[in-house]
Every structure is written in structure tokens, then in C-alpha cells.
Amino acid sequence: MYAQAQPSAMPDPSAGVHHEITHGPSFAMLRVDLVPGQTVVAEAGSMVARNSHVDMDVRMNAGRSPGLWAKLKAFLVALIRKVIGGETFFVNHFTAPSPGSVWVAPTLSGQITHRRLAGETLVLSTGAYLASVGDVDMRMRFGGLKSLLAKEGAFFLELSGHGDLWFTSYGGIHAVDVNGSYVVDNGHLVGYEGNLSFNIRGAGGGLMGLFASGEGLVCEFQGQGRIYIQSRNLSALAGWLTPLMPG
């Protein structure tokens, strides 16, 4: 039986954040125990529960110290995404005047992975970002015009800095070490690190494959590094559901 979190001491805000991931690997949920001075940045819409005294503030996800241009760009992108569907770009900032907890969870089933960033860079597909605490910088990278037309995988988030990061996978998460080249279905990509370059293209299969393979877009990675794949894909779910739909 789980009882409400009551942190007994006041830990140093610059140390690692106290948190717990429960209900993994299928329906992982993250609880962060806040102390005054800490801010949890979390993807918009992800809040499950919070203590009444925890404050919530909506911001545009334009990086930590964005200039006006970056802010405008972020707003425009967010509006486009909100209208045509796909990941939105607003985040919530949670702070607390006294110790308190906030629970967050992603929309799709799967895992939450915790990562302490110590200066390295991790690139995530935007749907994978869940929350972060600390000196974590987020920069949006554009995946190319082709991917903008697909409903997913258009934007990537480049995360760097020092702090705690939590990201999600739709399904289970697996690391594949690339040495040379490797192909990943766009909807199954969580993120990557290392000196990898990638190219988004059609899946192949000739002319018939272009229209009928059902495979959509793929990312072809070149170089050396680690890619993270997830074992489920939203487009594949939609495709599987379509013949079952009434009307």
C-alpha cells in the first residue's frame, strides 16, 4: 500500500532530485518530490496529481533563456502542431513553497527512463520528452520537410547540460549500437546519441512499396553511436484500428 510522500528532511536543491518511477514497464508514472527552489519542467498535459500547494505555470518550450525570435518560432511551431495534430510544445513549470510532490505520466503506455545529464547531448524525438530538473537546455531541431508532413517525427529535441531528465517510450525501450549504418522506422525512434547522422526517407520496396508497404518513413543512421528504439508505433496502431472502425 502506497502512502502520500512526506519528505522528512530538506535536501540540497542542487543535488539530485528525489523521484520514483512506478508501474513500469507498461504504465510507468513518475513522482517527483520537490523542495523549495527546485522547478520541475514537464510536458504539457502530463500532470496526474499534485499536492494542493504545488504551483503550476504554463510556458512555451523555447529553451531556458530564449531570445524573442526563439520564442516566436516556438509559439508558431506550437500553434502549427496544435492545429495539424502532433506533439505540442508547451511545458508546465512546477514549483513549491514547501516540500510537495507532483505525479506526471505520458499519454501512451510504456516506460519512463531516467538519465542524469552530465554535459553530454542526447537527441530525443519530441514525443519522448517527459520532464526535467536542473540546468537542462532544450533546442528544437527540424527533421526536414518530409517529416513535417508525417504526423510524427518532424521535430527532435536536442537536450544538453546538467540535471535530471526523464523520457518515455511507447512500449519497451531498446538500445541498438550502430557501427556503419542502420534503418529505423520513424515512429519507433525514441532518440540517439553519439556522432550519428541520419537521413529520413521512404522505406523502400520499389514503386508498390511507396504506396502500399504501410511502412511510412524511415530514418537511416550512419556513423557510430547508440540509437534507442521503442516496441510500439502510433501510426501502426492507427493502421491496425482502421478496418475495425464503424462508419
In the region spanning residues 121 to 140, those forming contacts with other proteins, defined by CB under 8 A, are none
Q: Which three cell numbers stand for residue 117?
A: 545529464
Cβ atoms within 10 Å, residue 204: 12
CB of 15 to other proteins, least distance (A): 26
| Nearer to other proteins (CB atom), residue 74 or residue 165 | 74
Work out which of 39, 95, 109, 160 binds other proteins, going by CB under 8 A.
109
Work out which of 1, 68, 118, 145 binds other proteins, going by CB under 8 A.
1
3-state secondary structure of 148: helix
> 114 with 165: CB under 8 angstroms?
yes
CA dihedral 186, 45, 64, 98 (to 10 degrees): -140
Q: Which of residues 48-107 bind other proteins (CB under 8 A)?
A: 48-52, 55-58, 78, 82, 85, 88, 90, 92, 103, 105, 107
Q: Which of residues 9-28 bind other proteins (CB under 8 A)?
A: 22-23, 25-28
CB burial string 163-187: b at 16+ within 10 A, e below: bbbbbbbbbebeeeebeeebebbbb
Which residue type is seen at 89? F
CA 247 to chain centre: 34
Q: Which of residues 141-160 bind other proteins (CB under 8 A)?
A: 151
3-state secondary structure of 83: helix
| Nearer to other proteins (CB atom), residue 27 or residue 161 | 27
Binding map of other proteins across residues 162-191, x = CB under 8 A, - = no contact: ---------xx-x-x---xxxxxx--x---
| Nearer to other proteins (CB atom), residue 43 or residue 164 | 43
Number of residues that bind other proteins (CB under 8 A): 79
Work out which of 99, 110, 134, 191 binds other proteins, going by CB under 8 A.
110
| Nearer to other proteins (CB atom), residue 57 or residue 120 | 57
- Using alpha carbons only, what angle is made at residue 46 by residues 194 and 152, rounded to the nearest 5 degrees? 50
Residue 208 as a binder of other proteins (CB under 8 A): the answer is yes
How long is the chain?
A: 247
